[in-house]
A = this chain, B = another copy of it.
Amino acid sequence: MSDFQTLREKARAFAEARNWDQFHSPKNLTMALSGEVGELQDLFQWMTEAQSHELTPDQHQAAAHEIADVQIYLLRLADKLGIDIPRAVEEKMALNEKRYPAEKVWGSSLKYTGYQREDDSAS
């Protein structure tokens, strides 16, 4: 089994062993995912960008735990929807390759719509 499959099975077994699967509707899991991302925001909100690169050991440990929590709920969400994460990522990356041609968006953080708009107005 791949990494993703292994972790997906573990997350599923954890929920089933606690009879928590009943709470894991895609809607609820999306809220739980958002709650965990909120904890990442708490960690970084008052840091400068530079500080966010230079965490203390305690902050680094906290970040690892929060990233794990986000990953666990994302695995659960994808599992409940029958979505294979690695395949979905590959597909989205292929789409992004087309949407953001490297030579056109070099060093610019404009989003796709922004890029399109800029492109249109130049034509």
Q: Kindly provide the distance from the CB of A6 to the nearest chain B CB, expressed in whole angstroms.
A: 8
How far does the alpha carbon of A4 sit from the alpha carbon of B83 in the complex, in Å?
Answer: 16
Assess the B45–A28 pair: CB atoms within 8 A: yes
Assess the B31–A45 pair: CB atoms within 8 A: yes
Chain A residues within CB distance 8 Å of chain B? 2-4, 6-7, 10-11, 14, 17-20, 22-23, 25-28, 30-53, 55, 60, 63-65, 67-72, 74, 77-78, 80-81, 83, 85-86, 88-93, 95-97, 100, 102, 105-107, 109, 111
How far does the alpha carbon of A71 sit from the alpha carbon of B85 in the complex, in Å?
Answer: 8
Q: Kindly provide the distance from the CB of A13 to the nearest chain B CB, expressed in whole angstroms.
A: 10
Q: Chain A: interface secondary structure?
A: helix
Assess the A93–B11 pair: CB atoms within 8 A: yes
Instruction: List the B side residues contacting A48 at CB < 8 Å.
Output: 27, 49
Q: Kindly provide the distance from the CB of A28 to the nearest chain B CB, expressed in whole angstroms.
A: 6
Assess the B80–A53 pair: CB atoms within 8 A: yes
Q: Kindly provide the distance from the CB of A61 to the nearest chain B CB, expressed in whole angstroms.
A: 10
